[in-house]
Structure 1
Amino acid sequence: MNAPLGVILAGGLARRMGGGDKGLLPLGSGTILGSVIDRLHPQVAGLALNANGDPVRFADLGLPVIADSVAGFAGPLSGVLAGLDWAAAQGATHIVTAAADTPFLPCDLVPRLQLAGGDMGLALAASPGGRQPTFGLWPVALRDDLRAALQDGLRKVVLWTERHGAGTAEFPDDLAFFNVNTPDDLARAQAML
């Protein structure tokens, strides 16, 4: 399988952080999102950001910004669908998704998801703490099925992936998927650097 395209999911509402874009918060000498980009970009053939609202706020990143195509806040699957539609327009067969608030994501995320994806090329990451449903390998061929599921009201990533026999890529370290949800988490991430 060729290198997939990467899509960073930044469409969340960040309620526990007081709203706004968590990924743009400072971390070390950059931002949380900058750390995600630095780790994911070398693993993929191209990179886009899934975010809603005014894309100008991400202009300095130099990435395409793709909004959810499903009305209302439909959760991460809506971002996956937006990424699949973007990838289809690029002629790609797969995307890999990662959350915008996880600055320590695995540097071997993509190859391990590809190994777990089997013939369909569908897999989710997992760690000792459980499945990590915003970290996945997704085939463009399933985008119409996903669109129909979202229109029917499905919001749970795992319910949809299990329908299609998704593989699981096991990662040994929960810290690789540490996400910044609160000001305390941000302080912890600074300390982890």
Structure 2
Amino acid sequence: EHTPAWDYKPEFKAVKRDQKTVDPTIWERDSIIWFSREITRRLGAEKFAGYVSKFSYGNSDVSGNPAKDDGLTHSWVNSSLEITPVEQVAFLRQLLAGTMPVSAKAHEMTRAIIPSFKAGDWAVQGKTGSTRLGKGGNDKRSLGWFVGWARKDGRQIVFARLVVDAERTDMPKGLATRAAFLKDLPQLIK
């Protein structure tokens, strides 16, 4: 899916690698935060909160950082919106079953933009996430997510892998988590 494609604007203040025209497929593949923020800005606070609530996404808290009034653009980036691995799997099961409160076309388009990978004989689709804890605190851990689904010989599994490192790392932890999961999957499930 390559619509809409939005051009980067300097006011988005993105890192150099993200200063490009982005469509939904690129957004998911490269984790383009400015594109996420532009989606939520265009939706508006009420619609954004409504979708998060209707999807039963984690704690559904889109308030953002305390006293910053940034929920619309920051709530999902190491802020108020939190989700557990079990909740991630439940969310993805709804997406795959087509039972979320959106159209069949929206389900189809969403599934289509999730990046694809191979893990042995498994066809994997999944999304990474990375963060560093400890904004202003003593917690210096790096977190990495890889969530998605895998198919092989008519079988489908839904997964969420969360890795928490004791120390901060330079490489985004989500990328390392994905690489380890793709390496491990063929041995985890035969």
TM-score by length of 1: 0.31
Higher relative contact order (CA 8 A, sep 6+): 1
TM-score by length of 2: 0.31
